[in-house]
Amino acid sequence: MPPIERATVDGGRGESLSLRTLLGLAGDVPLTCRAMAAGLCVSVYPRTLVTEGLTHFLDELKVALQKVGCTVISFEEAIARGEGRIGAGIAIISPGEGVVGDLAIDHVGDLARNVVVGLYEGPCPADAETVRQGKLDRVVQVYARHLVHVAIFIDRDTWTVCTMNGAIVRCLRNKPIETDVLETLVPKIAAPTVPPRRSDFLVREGGLDPLDTHLRPAVHDLVNSGRLWEESGAMTSHTPLSSLTFPSRKYQKIVSAYLDSRSGMSYGFLVRQLPTPVTPALYLDELESDITNENWGHGMVHRVGGRFYVSVRVCDRTYAVPVPAVKVLSTRSGCDKTRLNPITDVVALSLEAGRITFETPASLAALADCRPSYDTLVILAHAVGNAIVASVLARLRPESSWLRWLSEDGLAVAHWHGFLPSGAIPPDHLTYGETNPAVSCSTPQSAIYALAAKIDTLELRLRARGEFIAEVHVEPHHGTNIIGRSLTNAAEWLARVTA
C-alpha cells in the first residue's frame, strides 16, 4: 500500500507541531531521515585502541555522515562546547577497546543526550545465537562491557548496527555506505532509546486499584492472555542489570542512572485502553469558532473553548474531531508480561490536553521498581488515535464495530520485538508504518508516526468494502504493534499466523 503516513508526517513543520501538542511533546521533533541528519553533530573519541580495519571503516563512516548532512567535529571542539565535557546533543563514536576509567561515557555531559556509538571489528555476537532472547542477551552484554548506546560490528562483508531497543540490522559493505548510514544509523543516533522518567509525568502514587470492579474485564484480559503470549514466543524476557558484567561498580551505577533506577531492560508491552466516551466529529460550520476554514488543514490541532480539536480531511470534507481524555492499563516496565501479578504488575497511564498522568498500584510492595514503560508515548498515541478514529466513525459509520468496542469495552494494544511473516496479514487487518524511518518505539518520532497514521488511514477505512477488525503497526528494525478488540484475540491470531 502507498506510504499513507507522509501526508501528515512529512507535510510540514506546522502539522508535526500540531500532533506534538496532543502528546504533550516539547521542542522540535525531526521526522525525516534528512531532518535528523541535519540536526546531528558527531565526534570521534580518540583514546581507544584501534585496529587497521576499524580505522578504514571509521574514515568511510565520517565521510558518509558528512555526505548525508551530519556535522562532524573534532573531539577537542566537542569538549570545548561542553566546557570540559562533551557538549549537549553531540554523539560520540568510540572505535575499538577503551580504557576503564577513561571511556567515552566518562566524558559525556548528559547520559540521555550524548549517544555513544561503539565500533568493533569482528562478527556481531548475536550471530552465535539462534534464539532471539539469546541474541538480545549477547548484545546487551556488549553495552554493559563498553558502556555504549549503539554498537556496530564490522566484518569482512557486513557491518551490523545494534541498539538498546533490540534492533540488529545487517548492512552490506559491497554497496554504497551513504544509504545505510542515512536510513539505518542516523535515526538510531538522532532518535535514541531514552527511558521516560517519573519526573516527566504527573505521578499518582498508589492511585490505581487493579481490583476495582470497573477495571475487572481489562485486568482479566491482561492477566489471562499471558499464557497465550508465552506460547507464541513473541515476548522476550526482562534483562536484569544483575545478570550483566560491568567493568566496575561505578559503571553499573551509571547505567542504573540512565535507566532511571530500573532493575534492567524489558521488551514489549501489553495494554488495555479503557472504554472511552466518543463524541461524533463535527462539520466545521457546527463548531462555534472564529477560526477560518483555511486554518483547518488536515491534521492540524486547535484549542476551542478549552478543548482540543484535530481537523481531519476525509471523503472530500473537513471535520473537527474533539479529542477526549484517554486512559489505559499497562504492564509495569520490567515485569514478566506473560505471568502478570494483577496486584503489582499493572499500572495506569492517562493523557488529557497534552498532560500525561502515571498511576502506580495501591499496593506499597509494587512501588520499589515501578516505572513507566519505555513505550509510554506510543501507547498513548495509539489510545488518542483510536479515539479520533472512533469519533469520525461515529459521524460517518455509526454501525462500526471499532466504534462499539472502544465505547463499550475499550481496545487492546500489544507490542513485541519481531515481525510477521510475509503475506501473513489478512485483508481485514489495516497495516501501516512500514515506510517510516527506523526509530525505536521509545522516541517522540515513533509516537507522532503512530498518531499521524491513524489519521491518514481514515480515508482507507471509510472507503473499504468491509471493516478492519484490527490494525498492524510496523516499526521498521524494531517490532510490531497490533491493535484490536482484546489481547487474548491478538495472541490467538498471532499463534495462527506464525504457526
125 and 219 assigned to the same domain:
no
178 and 263 assigned to the same domain:
no
Q: What is the mean pLDDT of each run of 10 residues along the chain (499 residues)?
A: 30 47 86 96 94 95 98 97 94 94 93 92 89 80 90 95 88 94 96 81 91 94 90 72 80 76 68 96 80 72 85 90 95 83 92 92 66 88 96 94 95 91 87 92 90 91 88 92 94 83
Count of other CB atoms within 10 angstroms of residue 102 = 12
Q: Supply the CATH number for residue 141's domain.
A: 3.40.50
**pLDDT attached to residue 21:** 86
**pLDDT attached to residue 14:** 30
225 and 130 assigned to the same domain:
no
Answer with the one of 134, 164, 190 that is the final residue of a domain. Answer: 190
Count of other CB atoms within 10 angstroms of residue 74 = 11
- What's the number of domains the chain is made of? 2
289 and 322 assigned to the same domain:
yes
Answer with the one of 135, 156, 190 that is the final residue of a domain. Answer: 190
**pLDDT attached to residue 230:** 83
- In 3D space, the residue among 222, 475, 193 whose CA is nearest the CA of residue 348 turns out to be 222
- In 3D space, the residue among 474, 402, 398, 469 whose CA is nearest the CA of residue 431 turns out to be 474
- How much is the pTM? 0.91
**pLDDT attached to residue 290:** 64
Q: Is residue 161 part of a domain?
A: yes
Q: Is residue 14 part of a domain?
A: no
Q: Is residue 8 part of a domain?
A: no
387 and 434 assigned to the same domain:
yes
Distance CA 220, CA 299 (A): 36
- Structural domain boundaries enclosing 355: 198-498
Coil, helix or strand for 54? Answer: helix
- In 3D space, the residue among 405, 396, 404, 381 whose CA is nearest the CA of residue 484 turns out to be 405
Q: Is residue 18 part of a domain?
A: no
231 and 186 assigned to the same domain:
no
Name 372's Cβ contacts closer than 8 Å, sequence gap at least 6: 196, 198, 200, 201, 333, 347, 349, 358
Cβ-contact 281, 395 below 8 angstroms: yes
**pLDDT attached to residue 3:** 29
Q: C-alpha grid cell for residue 496? A: 495462527
Report CA-CA distances (Å) from 453 to 4, 120, 273: 7, 37, 18
Residue identified by cell 551505577 is 253
- Cross-strand bridge partners of residue 43: 92
Q: Is residue 453 part of a domain?
A: yes
Answer with the one of 190, 208, 229 that is the final residue of a domain. Answer: 190
**pLDDT attached to residue 291:** 63
Report CA-CA distances (Å) from 58 to 143, 150, 159, 457: 19, 15, 12, 42
Distance CA 42, CA 31 (A): 19
Q: Is residue 15 part of a domain?
A: no
Amino acid at 224: N
Residue identified by cell 506510543 is 378
176 and 209 assigned to the same domain:
no
